[in-house]
Chains A and B, each alone.
Chain A
Amino acid sequence: MFRLSALTYVIVGVVLMAMIFGGFWFLKIRREKEEIGYYAKKSAELDVINSQDSQNRAVERVRNAMQQVRDAEVAWKQVTSWRTPAAGTFNMTPNRWQLVVNTRRWHGRAEADLNRWVRRNGVTMTSPARLLVPYPTDQPNDLVQFYFNYPALPFPVAIWDMGTITVQGTWDQIMQNVRSWSTIPGYIASVRGLSITGTGSRLQGTYGLTVVVYVNTPYVSGGPGENGGVPQLGGATQGNVGGNQQGSGTMERGGGGGGGGAAGGPTPIGGPPANEPTAAGMGGRAN
């Protein structure tokens, strides 16, 4: 009969023990230990997130954000109170045809306001002879869409580049004149690129001026949607790149020029500009 030696039993036993442990190690224990390492690391990371300090910072962050918004809203309320057209001066709630008329009237007042303000602090304006606010178009839909940038911007706002202005006065008068644009009521004015020329007390200051006019209105007639436009012939919004409207919501002044307001020689409401009776323009409204 075949008989194994003791050494064989020992060797087979050791091999069996090694196989048992190895099998468990490679098939189960090692994988789970790796997972334990991963979870331990994640647990440590979560401990950092869940720490009291982290919770406090999260709450503080929210508190700061709310405070920031509150501060901005309070400050913005002051801005809208003093630096947008005064209540009753201008609103955009009537129908858009009426809005064209209202805008012309308001335009005249705005132009007068700016011309008064530019001569503050004892300076005289040498160039241009008179500030001209871009003249609003008589096309009601274009007026809202381009002149007031609505609904491209979430609220109606007119942005006028007034060009380069030259004023004459002393050093202090010119500096005060530039600074004073930050306090003009009803408007927000941005001055850029001041240069000073001259000697003695006869100095000339030249700067660029942009005026931003937030229109404080409960809503805009017709709203921002496509259906908000009124039906109109001629002066189609999208194709209106010829003539003098340029898709900018402005047009050349008629007749009186510079006078602004309804008396400034408005083009008949609803009709196409006199020099723009194109076939495309007569084809009906695009908006």
Chain B
Amino acid sequence: MAVLVVLTLAGTMLYASQVSKTLAGYKEEVAAKEIIAKQIVDTAASADTILANSKIVLTNFELVKQIDNSNGKYPRLYNTLKGYIPSFIRVRSISAASGGPENSVVTIQGYLKTFQQYSDVMIALLRFPGCSAVGRSGFGPIASGDAGPFGYDPANPERGPIPGWSSVTLTMSITSGPFANLQAPEPRATLAGAGTGAAPPAGGQPAAGQPPISATTGGAPPSSGGGNTLLGGLKGR
């Protein structure tokens, strides 16, 4: 029995030492892998640093891009909308308002003749891309003082609106597609946000030969010259 006890002790100790060896092996392996992993993570993180250091030029460029894009939003909307407005309605005014990044409201004020047209125009406008709802109001005799259709000049009291036509207001809610977002960028807030990125050194004039912002970003500067101004651009004119 005593032999068995001694054997158990020896076997257990052997097993424990093997477990310890295995653990030590894992520790070494993990330590070695961690060094490589850190290099990879640091490499990946340096992309964020590059972008953060170039925040000013990226923000400026993005702002201008968004401004140019937003300048064309209303013309694109109206030009497209023209094709969906039935010929029987005489449009007096079109306006649109942004209700957020995914919602815009188009208001059309115009004139039509029959109650059937009042119904048909709803179907026609619902075909507009992204239009989720159309509202209507105003069908009835044209109110006195209303200019009426066909270019009636309210300054000329001798001519009144054509009888039988109705002044209606149609409201379209656009909640998807290319015309849902009519927002324009807010330059001041956007540029203030860029101020949290890399900025020129504070205090006094920069030393002669100081590189522009774009050349201090960590990214390679443009090959055609780094620029010589606070904006990081080189004047071509």
Contacts and interface: CB of A to CB of B under 8 A. Distances in A.
Contacts of B8: 16-17, 20-21
Nearest to B153: A202
Interface residues on B, range: 35 or more
Contact of A152 (B27, B29, B192, B204): B192
Interface in A70-104: 70, 72-77, 79-84, 86-87
A66 B49 CA distance: 10
A106 interface: no
B30 A87 contact: no
B203 A155 contact: no
A62 B47 contact: yes
Given A76-B214, A153-B194, A207-B74, A20 B222 contact: no
A105 to B, nearest CB: 18
Contact of B50 (A66, A86, A222, A228): A66
Contacts of A154: 56, 194-195, 197-200, 213, 230
A55 B40 contact: yes
A131 interface: no
A195 B93 contact: yes
A145 to B, nearest CB: 14
Interface string A177-214: 01101100000111111111111101000010010101
A69 interface: yes
A57 B44 contact: yes
B192 A43 contact: no
B58 A13 contact: no
A270 interface: no
Contacts of B232: 73, 76-77, 80
A76 B92 CA distance: 41
A21 B16 CA distance: 10
Contacts of A20: 5, 8-9, 12
A10 interface: yes
Interface string B183-196: 01101100110110
Interface stretch (A25-33, A112-120, A231-239): A25-33
A39 B1 contact: no
A175 B22 contact: no
A36 interface: yes
A126 interface: no
Contacts of B36: 46, 50
A240 to B, nearest CB: 19
A225 B60 contact: no
B71 interface: yes
Contact of B47 (A65, A81, A178, A207): A65
Interface string B42-61: 01101110110010111011
B26 A36 contact: yes
Interface string B167-188: 0000000000000000011011
